[in-house]
Structure 1
Amino acid sequence: MEFLTDYAGFLLKLISVALIIVFVLGIVASGKRKSQPGSLSVTKLNESYDDMKAELDRQLLDKKVLKDREKEKKKKEKVEKKAKKKVLKESEEEAKKRLYVLDFDGDIKASAVDSMREEITAVLSVAKPQDEVVVRLESGGGVVHGYGLAASQLQRIREANIPLTICVDKVAASGGYMMACVADKIIAAPFAILGSIGVVAQVPNVHRLLDKSLIDVELHTAGRYKRTLTMLGKNTDEGREKFRQDLEDTHGLFKRFVSGQRPQLDIDNIATGDTWYGSEALENNLIDVVMTSDAYLVSHYDNAEVIQVVYKQPKGMAERFGLSLFSALEHKVVSWVGKLTQSRGY
Structure 2
Amino acid sequence: MEFLSEYGIFLAKAITVLVVLLVVIIAVAAASSKGKSDKKAELRVTKLNDELAENKALLEDELLSKEVLKQREKDEKKLVKEEKKSRNKSPEKPKPRVFVLDFDGDIKASDVTTLRESITTLLQVADPQLDEVVIKLESGGGMVHSYGLAAAQLDRVKKAGLRLTVAVDKVAASGGYMMACVADKIIASPFAIVGSIGVVAQLPNFHKLLKKNDIDYEILTAGEYKRTLTMFGENTDKGRAKFQDDLEDTHGLFKSYVNDRRPLVDIDVVANGDIWFGSQALENKLIDEVMTSDEYVVQCCQNADVYSIAFKEKKTLADKLGFAVASGVERAFLKFVSEQESTKGMRA
TM-score (norm. length: structure 2): 0.90
CA contact (8 A) 2:198 2:251 kept: yes
CA 65–15 in structure 1, closer or farther in 2 if over 3 Å, else same: closer
Distance 1:143 1:293 in 2: 26
Q: Deviations over 1:84-106 (max 9, x none)?
A: 5666x56xxx4011111111111
CA 86–338 in structure 1, closer or farther in 2 if over 3 Å, else same: farther
Moved more, 18-27 or 210-219: 18-27
3-state SS of paired residue (1:301): helix
CA 219–96 in structure 1, closer or farther in 2 if over 3 Å, else same: same
Shift of 1:207: 1.5
Shift of 1:330: 2.4
The question of 1:39 aligning with 2:45 is answered no
Q: Deviations over 1:143-168 (max 9, x none)?
A: 11111111111111111101111111
Shift of 1:195: 0.7
Equivalent AA in structure 2 for residue 105 of structure 1: D
Counterpart in the other structure of 2:78: 75
3-state SS of paired residue (2:276): strand
Counterpart in the other structure of 2:204: 204
The question of 1:58 aligning with 2:94 is answered no
Equivalent AA in structure 2 for residue 246 of structure 1: D
CA 282–238 in structure 1, closer or farther in 2 if over 3 Å, else same: same
CA contact (8 A) 1:25 1:317 kept: no
Moved more, 322-331 or 123-132: 322-331
Residues 219-258 of structure 1: pairs in structure 2 closer than 5 A: 219-258=219-258
3-state SS of paired residue (1:299): helix
Q: Deviations over 1:253-294 (max 9, x none)?
A: 111111111111111111111111212211211111111111
Distance 1:218 1:320 in 2: 48
Equivalent AA in structure 2 for residue 100 of structure 1: F
Counterpart in the other structure of 1:101: 100
Moved more, 18-27 or 59-68: 18-27
CA contact (8 A) 1:141 1:172 kept: yes
CA 80–298 in structure 1, closer or farther in 2 if over 3 Å, else same: farther
Counterpart in the other structure of 1:25: 31
CA 193–331 in structure 1, closer or farther in 2 if over 3 Å, else same: same
Distance 1:82 1:72 in 2: 16
Residues 135-154 of structure 1: pairs in structure 2 closer than 5 A: 135-154=135-154
CA contact (8 A) 1:198 1:271 kept: yes
Counterpart in the other structure of 1:338: 338
Equivalent AA in structure 2 for residue 41 of structure 1: R
Counterpart in the other structure of 2:121: 122
Shift of 1:302: 2.3
CA contact (8 A) 1:29 1:317 kept: no
CA 252–321 in structure 1, closer or farther in 2 if over 3 Å, else same: farther
Counterpart in the other structure of 1:261: 261
Q: Deviations over 1:98-126 (max 9, x none)?
A: 11111111111111111111111121111
CA 208–19 in structure 1, closer or farther in 2 if over 3 Å, else same: farther
Counterpart in the other structure of 2:293: 293
CA 80–177 in structure 1, closer or farther in 2 if over 3 Å, else same: farther
The question of 1:7 aligning with 2:20 is answered no
CA contact (8 A) 2:25 2:326 kept: no
Distance 1:318 1:206 in 2: 43
3-state SS of paired residue (2:203): coil
The question of 1:170 aligning with 2:170 is answered yes
CA contact (8 A) 2:197 2:254 kept: yes
Shift of 1:176: 0.8
CA contact (8 A) 1:171 1:193 kept: yes
Fraction of identical pairs, as percent = 54
Shift of 1:319: 4.9
TM-score (norm. length: structure 1): 0.90
Distance 1:257 1:9 in 2: 58
Distance 2:257 2:23 in 1: 52
